[in-house]
Amino acid sequence: MTSADVARESGVSRTTVSYVLNARKDVVLTEATRQRVLDAAARLGYTPSAAARALRAGRSDLVLLVLPDWTLGPAIDTLIEHLSTALATHGLSVLVHIRHGGRPLDELWRAVTPCVVLSLSPFPAADTRAMQQAGIPVVGTALDDDPQPDVFAVPQASIGALQADHLVARGHRVLAYAAPHDDRLAAFADRRLAGVRAACERHRVPAPEVASVDLDVASARAAVDAWRAAGVTAVAAYNDEVALAVLAGLRDAGLDVPGDVAVIGVDDIPAARVAAPALTTVWQAIDAQAEHLAAAVLAALGLAESTPERPDDVFHLVQRAST
């Protein structure tokens, strides 16, 4: 169906149909005419062309969020939810694309014509330049060792250091690090592990015993057995999901938490609060990161003056029973 079909059905001109369907405020139309056009469009199932609307407005209402080839989990899900909600109030929709390789990025943004491209990791310089030359703003975030001006970055190495600082302060001297089993998370896991190692060196305790832990009891139990043989009394886990697997492995081995082994995670997901025992963790400011990214998108579109100041509290310890 086209606007010409709506015009014939309602008995008005295509120009009048355009005025009604685009809600033009500067054109005077009777309420009866407006309603006749809307009723005709509804009967015919007419939907305005998104591409044509984008051409008229000079931009679409799509924000293309490009994710690296990471596994999705509670933290990323929460970020996307907050970001989508914040942008929806300004009539913007978020389209999520995970880069698994294969399709070149330029094919994607040329096909969907987004108003902004948002990335959770830096793009290659050539991709960024091509989008900017096409008039598409590029907004992003970064990991802690590759920040850029006005870019929100949560210091992942500092999160790992906080985990180790807490465990050492509780009297532990032989620590382990439970790494994720999925190599796609290495960008985060390696930084957090580096923070744990740096803190151990600063406190003059041995470097952590490292093992990868899949999200099942057998994998966690194997790691627990190796750690206990090495004299480990505390585990810093990559995130709360890995920490919950470690708790399951410790239960399977008949060990007490925190009496025999203490455990700390990262992210403060809802399941951490109802674990047995409740999981000590490091909270990250996911909501603040989403708000900062949303504000950066609006600023890039001229809908806001500037991005907000980065909050002082981007992560902190949440003490619970597992340590």
Q: Is the dihedral of CA 174, 180, 183, 185 positive or negative?
A: negative
Q: Is the pLDDT of residue 259 over 70?
A: yes
Average pLDDT over residues 311-320: 88
How much is the pTM?
0.75
- State the pLDDT at residue 318: 97
pLDDT by residue (tens digit) across 271-285?
A: 999 999 999 999 988
Bond from prior residue into 124 cis (ω within 30 degrees of 0): no
pLDDT by residue (tens digit) across 137-160?
A: 888 776 665 555 556 677 889 999
Name the nearest CA neighbour of 69 among 106, 120, 114.
120
Neighbours of 294 (CB within 10 A): 27
Q: What is the 3-state secondary structure (H, E, C) of 295-323?
A: HHHHHHCCCCCCCCCCCCCCEEEECCCCC
Q: Which two tokens stand for residue 204?
A: 């003059």
Q: Would you call 20 helix, strand, or coil by DSSP?
A: helix
* Whole-number Cα distances in Å, 59 to 104, 112, 113, 291, 304: 22, 11, 7, 22, 17
Name the nearest CA neighbour of 157 among 144, 146, 167, 168.
144
- State the pLDDT at residue 55: 47
Neighbours of 152 (CB within 10 A): 24
pLDDT by residue (tens digit) across 180-217?
A: 999 888 988 999 999 999 999 999 999 999 999 999 99
User: How far apart are alpha carbons 201 and 77 in whole angstroms?
Assistant: 34
Helices (H) and strands (E) in the chain, counts: 13, 11
- Which comes out higher in pLDDT, residue 55 or 244? 244
pLDDT by residue (tens digit) across 27-83?
A: 888 999 999 999 998 888 877 654 455 545 555 789 999 888 877 778 888 888 999
- Which comes out higher in pLDDT, residue 134 or 189? 189
